[in-house]
Amino acid sequence: MLTRRFTSFSAIVAGAALLCTAMTAQAREYSVSTVLSDAFPWGQAAQKWAELVEERSDGRITLRVYPNSQLVAGDQTREFSAMRSGLIDMALGSTINWSPQVPQLNLFSLPFLMPDDAAVDAITGGKAGEMIFEAIEARGVVPLAWGENGFRELSNSKLPVDSPEDLAGLKIRVVGSPLFNDTFTALGANPTQMSWADAKPALTTGAVDGQENPIAIFDVARIDQVGQKYLTLWHYMNDPLIFAVNQQVWQTLPQEDRELLRETAIEAGQWEIEMSRAQEDERLAAIRERGVEVIELTDEQRQAFVEATQSVYDTWTPQIGEELVEVARQAVENR
């Protein structure tokens, strides 16, 4: 009798151990890279994705968010390559930062292509968006959904800018993309590429006169505190964000987990887009209250900038893809 009881007890212990092993084997943790922390909508979107995945997988899947480009030692332009090679499992990344590896993403940096939110949505939600996702997947990364970093607006410490002539000679900090250099050179400015860590001291000392960033970043990072007294709302380009997964990681996942990651990415992206757009008026009001002069362009004033930067299209359309640029143009016109 004692032997049978011991055998039964052993079987129970063994069964429990097997169950724990199975549960442990099913539980997975993945790294998610993002450039900004959850003080910004960008970082909040990554966190939202992680929360939705943990909730709907009952804790079986954990997305560990690493903000501030920690996984690439602060070099955000290496994020896509690191994800493609498997050093990063997933990311919520910027079209600007990924464009060195995916030339088609330069579409969003073409100056004055997208005049409003409807134009952005027409591109990301249509054939052009599908073509871009195909280009990303062809390079070893699986794109899942769109988010939004927003329209990049121009600020400076010298004067209100409402015409291309106002930019003549201004030293403008830009991100590390040749397309941005070409755009500001066409406008008569003096573009200077530097990291954001270097940009804030340069703005403070006057080594550079201005910069360009979305309203949310201008507000949260308090760019007005480094001498930026004039803010021009010119919507010269938009920087959509992309939720994505390393292709090898994706291939190891069962179909139900793939669907879970995609559905939650879409939901987190839509949540962040709606939140970002809803907050813009409030952010602008706060920026004005801090003494910044906000310049809003008329259609005629904006058109002058459009005409001044047409040469950029001649240079960059062949690199991006003529078909893709034309499909995007048509989507904007028909929005």
Q: Is the pLDDT of residue 24 over 90?
A: no
Domain span at residue 80 reads 29-313+322-333
Any domain includes 33: yes
- 3 in a domain, yes or no? no
pLDDT band at 25 (very low <50, low <70, confident <90, very high): very low
pLDDT score at 6: 41
Which of 8 and 109 is assigned the larger pLDDT? Answer: 109
- Residue 24 inside a domain? The answer is no
State both tokens at 263: 């559905």
pTM score, whole prediction: 0.90
- What HEC string does the chain produce? CHHHHHHHHHHHHHHHHHHHHHHHHHCEEEEEECCCCCCCHHHHHHHHHHHHHHHHCCCCEEEEEECCCHHHCCCHHHHHHHHHHCCCCEEEEEHHHHCCCCHHHHHHHCCCCCCCHHHHHHHHCCHHHHHHHHHHHCCCEEEEEEEEEEEEEEEECCCCCCCHHHHCCCEEEECCCHHHHHHHHHCCCEEEECCHHHHHHHHHHCCCCEEEEEHHHHHHCCHHHHCCCEEEEEEEEEEEEEEEEEHHHHHHCCHHHHHHHHHHHHHHHHHHHHHHHHHHHHHHHHHHHCCCEEEECCHHHHHHHHHHCHHHHHHHHHHHCHHHHHHHHHHHHCC
Q: Which residue has the tokens 């964000």?
A: 241
The predicted model gives 277-283 an average pLDDT of 96
Give the mean model confidence (pLDDT) for residues 139-161.
97
pLDDT tens per residue across span 236-266: 999 999 999 999 999 999 999 999 999 999 9
Contacts for 15 with CB less than 8 Å, ≥ 6 apart: none
Residue 230: strand pairing partners: 156, 293
User: What's the CATH code of the domain at 240?
Assistant: 3.40.190.170
207 falls within a domain: yes
For the stretch 182-241, pLDDT in tens is: 999 999 999 999 888 889 999 999 999 999 999 999 999 999 999 999 999 999 999 999
Please give the pLDDT value at position 21.
39
**Domain count along the chain:** 1
The residues, ordered by sequence, that sit 6+ positions from 169 with a Cβ below 8 Å of its Cβ are 188, 189, 190
Asked if the structure places residue 20 within a domain, the reply is no
- Return the pLDDT at 197: 83
CA distance linking residue 249 with residue 136, whole number of Å: 15
Instruction: Say whether pLDDT at 144 is over 70.
Output: yes
Note the pLDDT of residue 16: 43
> 65-116 pLDDT, tens per residue?
999 999 999 999 999 999 999 999 999 999 999 999 999 999 999 999 999 9
The first and second tokens of residue 178, run together, are: 């040749």
Residue 120 domain flag: yes
For residue 196, the model assigns a pLDDT of 84
pLDDT of residue 2: 43
Instruction: Please report the pLDDT score of residue 142 as a whole number.
Output: 98
- Name the average pLDDT for the chain: 93
Please say whether the beta carbons of 67 and 88 come within 8 A: no
Percent of all residues in the chain with a pLDDT value above 90, rounded to a whole number: 88
Confidence of residue 176 (pLDDT cuts 50, 70, 90): confident
Residue 23 has a pLDDT of: 42
Residue 16 domain-assigned (yes or no):
no
pLDDT of residue 11: 45
What confidence score (pLDDT) does residue 27 get?
87
**What pLDDT does residue 54 have?**
98
On the question of pLDDT at 15 being above 90, the answer is no
| Residue 265 resides in a domain | yes
pLDDT score at 17: 41
pLDDT value of position 195: 85
